[in-house]
Structure 1
């Protein structure tokens, strides 16, 4: 069967943005539940599977046909090939396979490739569980022993605090910003809290809003700790800058409390004892005695947008992101996995171990009671040092958070079940349902070249680490190009992925995994310089145009806070022979997050940019700036009227995209004056749509 893209599609005209935004909103709150195949490992800016299913189904549904019905049907795209040149976590590939198409998943970063492979390939559950038990047998007893109290109970978490010597008087300063180290996620409802005495480190129960307390040794405790922002104050009253007192080394950390699992199922907070300190000293000695063949993180941090903060705190090597007990425990686990016989199941455990690292390092913190205990290290999208880090039990128990054993169930077993019997979120009109039976199981044979890919009978995925500006795909071989390109700035994936790669390069999860010291590559599209970003992404668009069949579509999601990013994307499309046919706003990601909370105009929507090649006779459907603006306004209004949250940043981004796309199609040079005029119209649109002043809020 040959799948042909219609001359005009629902993606360009009657895209079901409101419906997709509704199901996308539900997915966004629990991506790991609704799309677990692409949630086996951390990757940044992961898009919504529901939205990408909608993009693919709408791209193969004719203009005026029932795009909503196509999304919720068992559409069969057998014979079609869908390319994602920026594949990330593999969302496009999974959705294409579920619809019966073959998938080509390229990414320049090897960690992303590992994530994609887990998303699309099948595992034998019996073999996976057997491999897990083999690893458990090899290392768990020793890891458990290193996380025990003197009376044999399991320590779930150790609490640490960074310490510095006062530059003026040398008095030790513990960098607590508050003595409250554990409280409930809803403290007004459950006011009970745990506090630590900054002077002697004794632990006692109190309230989150206490005024003063007296510790077991008679010290008076107040709400204020020694650290405030970038400053700290010693017990003698001297204030100093924290970074200035580091003296060229990372902070020294001191254990001050632990959470222990009791035999009756309860948990208790206890102070650190000499036995705990001696056990940790044993780990320091054990680390020094590990064999040279043991897996440990390799490599040094390089300067970058997302690494500079860690470098300012004098973290220079990736192994400095872990304390001695973490390094010993994680090394035992990683070495046991590395030594398994090669198989997709071994590869899955390598990826699972790598994902566990996110919750087991010195950059994590405690979220509190009544929620998942561990706040992972990438909650801020940068490598942000913690003054009071949390050390978790890396193998874990049923009471643990972010541990290898618990993630085995919540990630790998859940992903296996999903791939075997996919479920989709569908709005039938009476509410959003989670249904099975409209998607094909996911279990692709993986190819590492075009030649081997096209020779595979049945479900296939070509998954490779490569620069998508240079591929081995023949001319006119791909039916659709669907992707989510990297940001121009902000989150630089390779800088963050190196944290995982520092371990994976030694483990070699599959044959051909990169053994380079970094995942940074020449040809990366991400670049803080708009012109360099534009050149790099243009090369990918040019290659995409070459490999696409005549009459095919390119569709990608995009959201950029800086107008220079939009200008470069639109100009790069024009230079590489593409015409923008539509800019469709749709739900992008979870509405609330730590990162969004700090944004001036937080985004809720993505723009789906739909393009055809100029050589195929495509022309932009708008005939004037006014028509382009009216089209963008109508699409945003439709979403707002459907009770989808539309904010100022969303309006600004969508209007920018629509106007710049039209102007580019007329040959206008998108210089600074044009960009300023576009921004003026975008600001007016914000006031019109949201009834607020410039930069105003949304609904």
Structure 2
């Protein structure tokens, strides 16, 4: 649970590149050590470990299983249909010379700054000297149907709260100036008297400040939204140290001149081929962009961003050393989430929020444009900051550690001999190779040796919770322009594929499609596993129906469920679940082949296999009590997910005890599971 609060601190390796819904590395380390370590988990967890074996993850996503398996000396087999998942895991695992990388990153930064840095300057209002801009703040605009004038769409006029700045900062849309107020002051413009306490846009409607007409702004746009620059946060190297709080200003003539310069540079850009011109396809998440009038990915970036990103991509693709070029391309791809017009400005923390602070495409009315090259050691979200973030991730990969607390003080605990970096090979490795075989392909088609896998640990898609391909295309359409000539998976135009296992209403992928795909993958993995090997995976969903495919897949693969364990998986304060009563807990399903469990439970000399104890209600009570002991009070959403997990586990055991036909039509299999689940739920609610 502590790891989920600051996951990049506990597992810096995830800073390689953004991925969604990453599960805690501590959970998967615990699962792996519980299976293979000779010592008790409480002891082995804090030590360096080394044992031979091959661990597979058919849905490797952000790479947690791969990283934790390589750490303890095992070889790893990872597969994901998404090229971005394949690439980020490869970059995390592939060895690199950190000194050479930092030098290459600095060289690229210097060249980038020399070519575009002038576009990120402004005049300091205190000393009138040139200063570096941290953030440009833009507001969406729309023509008023009443008077035809251009209306700014402000949900509120506050720019900064009086937390990290001594006063509250507001903009007056009528006078187009920034003003500061003490916290208790009346928020009215000193020049025109306009009430600044609330904006002119609310619930999809805007009031024109010139004529008073109220209108639905989305209906009036007719294309991608236009923006108006209204505020700048900057940092002057000459007077910032003596300035209380932050430095804000309204844009002046020179700032607008630089905007015109950026437009001209973009129009005449010699690297226009590096700016994506792909259209945004329909989808459950991308349809939100269509509603706002966006039709092409390039429309999500300002002229200055398009020009600067094109120049940066060109610089990187001309880096001579392949390993450095690929690492810097990964940095480029990751920092795109802070370099677009869907980023928002946090008026409390006074920083840029990246586009993927939620698992979707949030379109805010106020956009935050970040400094693209960046100011060394100032701010975040710029190229220079992401170079260092990547370096820290690779440093951790070379010498991983664990984090503990003693009387409130954080302590790093080295795990000697462990490393995430390993040789990347082109075929299934042997147990002692300590190598990674990474694939960008459908997992059900992996060419695996029979009885070659010592374990499968995975975190499969949670049906329709995250639209991975729709989101990662945002980075992919840029990155493919650097990598397409060198890396085969980047020759596609999109990360979307018919093999992606996510529910999607727009694309007509429902539970039956999800069930078929999940079953094929589980069956393929089962066929390559050694006798007695564990197949363990994490899952949670608010809809009980989304567990039916899991039960079908486990049964089709010949598994029974030997344990269902609770594990923290999310941070309660995460923006994408905050206030939704969603669960922060996963159910960890532990499975083994039915014939092995049957022999293990009947033969005294066979390996010990855990079995669930008691009723579903008792199991849920044990889970809730376990979490309470750890200092967490389960919410109603948590309890509902834990109940669903135990119901699914019991359904597997009951149906496995009878005659299960994996070749029956998927609808027949799903109907049988639903009937058993419904019966268990009904019985559960009658339990004391």
TM-score, normalisation: structure 1 = 0.87
Q: CA deviation at 1:133?
A: 2.8
**Structure 2 counterpart of 1:647:** 635
Instruction: Give secondary structure in 2 for the equivalent of 1:358.
Output: helix
Partner of 1:269: 248
User: Which residue in the other structure is 2:307 paired with?
Assistant: 328
Please say if residues 534 and 569 of structure 1, whose CA atoms lie closer than 8 Å, have aligned partners that are also in contact: yes
Q: Within the alignment, does 1:117 sit opposite 2:123 as a pair?
A: no
Alignment partner of 1:658 is 2:646: yes
**Distance (Å, rounded) in 2 between the aligned partners of 1:659 and 1:559:** 13
1:392 is displaced (CA, Å) by: 0.9
For 1:96, the equivalent position in structure 2 comes to 69
Q: Distance in 2 between matches of 1:683 and 1:152?
A: 69
Equivalent of residue 391 in structure 1, options 342, 362, 369: 369
* Counterpart in the other structure of 1:612: 592
Matched, 1:154 2:129: no
Aligned to 2:317: 338
Q: Are 2:563 and 1:585 equivalent residues in the alignment? A: no
Name the CA distance, whole Å, in 2 between partners of 1:680 and 1:35.
42
Q: Whole-Å Cα distance in 1 between the matches of residues 542 and 648 of structure 2? A: 15
SS at match of 2:283: coil
Note if contact 1:622-1:628 (Cα within 8 Å) is conserved in structure 2.
Answer: no
Assess, with a 3 A threshold, how the Cα gap between structure 1 residues 339 and 624 changes in structure 2: closer, same or farther.
closer
Shift of residue 545, structure 1, vs aligned partner: 0.5
Partner-residue secondary structure (3-state), 1:581: strand
- Secondary structure in 2 matching 1:282: helix
1:136-535 maps to which residues of 2 (within 5 A)? Answer: 136-149=109-122, 151-184=129-162, 186=163, 192-207=167-182, 210-215=185-190, 217-235=191-209, 236-247=211-222, 249-262=223-236, 263-266=238-241, 267-291=246-270, 294-368=273-347, 371=349, 373-397=351-375, 398-409=377-388, 411-426=389-404, 433-438=411-416, 440-450=418-428, 453-454=429-430, 458-508=433-483, 511-528=487-504, 529-535=510-516
How much has 1:572 moved relative to structure 2?
Answer: 1.7
Gaps of 5+ in 1: 1-24, 689-699
CA contact (8 A) 1:424 1:438 kept: no
What SS is found at the alignment partner of 1:155? Answer: strand
Report the Cα offset of residue 152 of structure 1.
Answer: 2.5
Kindly state the Cα deviation for residue 210 of structure 1 after the two structures are TM-superposed: 4.4
Q: What are the within-5 Å matches in structure 2 for residues 33-44 of structure 1?
A: 33-44=9-20
> In 1, Cα distance between the equivalents of 2:615 and 2:405?
31
**Inter-partner Cα distance in structure 1 for 2:651 and 2:107:** 61
- Name the structure 1 match of 2:126: none
Indicate how the Cα distance of structure 1 residues 681 and 238 shifts in structure 2: closer, same or farther if over 3 A, else same: farther
CA drift of 1:309 comes to 0.9
Q: What is the aligned partner in structure 1 of residue 661 from structure 2? A: none
TM-score, length of structure 2 as denominator length: 0.89
Q: Could you tell which deviates more after superposition, 359-368 or 298-307?
A: 298-307
Secondary structure, counterpart of 1:46 in structure 2:
coil
Measure, in 1, the Cα distance between the counterparts of 2:517 and 2:400. Answer: 36
Q: What is the 5 A alignment of 1:536-555?
A: 536-555=517-536
1:146 is paired with a residue whose SS is helix
| Secondary structure, counterpart of 1:328 in structure 2 | helix
Shift of 1:579: 1.0
Structure 2 distance, partners of 1:622, 1:412, is 41
Matched-pair contact (CA < 8 Å) for 1:72–1:426? no
Distance in 2, Cα, partners of 1:684 & 1:641: 27
Deviation at 1:307, TM superposition (A): 1.1
**TM-superposed deviation, 1:119:** 1.9
Post-superposition shift, 1:484?
A: 0.4
Structure-2 residue corresponding to 1:557: 538
Alpha carbons 2:271, 2:311 under 8 Å: kept: no
Moved more, 80-89 or 26-35: 26-35
Comparing 310-319 with 636-645, which one deviates more in the overlay? 636-645
Aligned residue for 2:456, secondary structure, equals: strand
Listed as ranges, the matches of 1:37-116 within 5 Å are 37-61=13-37, 66-77=40-51, 79-116=52-89
Partner SS for 1:300:
coil
Offset at residue 622 of structure 1 (A) = 9.6
RMSD: 2.6
> How big is the shift at 1:61?
4.8
1:681 Cα deviation after fit: 6.0
Q: Distance in 2 between matches of 1:674 and 1:457?
A: 43
Residues in 1 aligned to 2:269 and 2:644: alpha-carbon distance in whole angstroms: 56
Structure 2 unaligned blocks of 5 or more:
124-128, 505-509, 602-608, 659-670
Seen in structure 2, the aligned counterparts of structure 1 residues 221 and 429 have a Cα distance that, compared at 3 Å, is closer
* Contact map agreement 1:298 1:503 (CA 8 A) in 2: no
For 1:105 and 1:662, locate their aligned partners in 2 and report how far apart those are by CA, in whole Å: 29
Checking the alignment, whether the CA contact within 8 Å between 1:160 and 1:391 is kept in structure 2 is: yes
Structure 1 residue 677, shift from structure 2 partner: 4.7
SS in 2 for 1:97: helix
Q: 1:388 to 1:207 in 2, by over 3 A?
A: farther
Matched position secondary structure for 2:133: strand
Residues 555/318 of structure 1: CA separation in 2 closer, same or farther (3 Å cut) = same
Q: Distance in 2 between matches of 1:97 and 1:406?
A: 28
The C-alpha deviation readout for 1:492-532, integer Å capped at 9, x for no partner, is: 10000000001011010853342211100121111141111
Conservation of the 8 A alpha-carbon contact between 1:173 and 1:234: yes
Range 428-437 or range 66-75, more displaced: 428-437
Q: Following the alignment from structure 1 to structure 2, what is the Cα–Cα distance between the partners of residues 27 and 618?
A: 37
Quick one: structure 1 residues 648 and 374, their matched pair in 2 at CA, closer, same or farther if it must change by over 3 Å?
A: same
Deviations 1:4-62 (A, max 9, x none): xxxxxxxxxxxxxxxxxxxxx22112111211112221100011111110010112257
Whole-Å Cα distance in 2 between the matches of residues 479 and 97 of structure 1?
A: 13
SS in 2 for 1:332: helix
**Which residue does 1:570 correspond to in 2?**
551
**Secondary structure at 2:450's aligned position in 1?**
coil
1:136 CA displacement: 2.2
Aligned equivalents of 1:198, 1:604: Cα separation in 2: 41
1:675 and 1:335, CA in 2 relative to 1: closer, same or farther beyond 3 A? same
- Conservation of the 8 A alpha-carbon contact between 1:37 and 1:120: no
Moved more, 133-142 or 43-52: 133-142
Corresponding residue of 2:606: none
Name the CA distance, whole Å, in 2 between partners of 1:402 and 1:207.
30
CA, structure 1 residues 679+183, in 2 after alignment: closer, same or farther (shift >3 Å)? farther
Q: Indicate if the aligned counterparts of 1:243 and 1:313 stay in contact, CA closer than 8 A.
A: yes
After superposition, give the CA deviation of every residue in 1:578-621 in whole Å (9 maximum; x if it has no partner).
1111110011122211111142x321211111001124344998
Change in CA separation of 1:605 and 1:313 when aligned onto 2, cut-off 3 Å? same
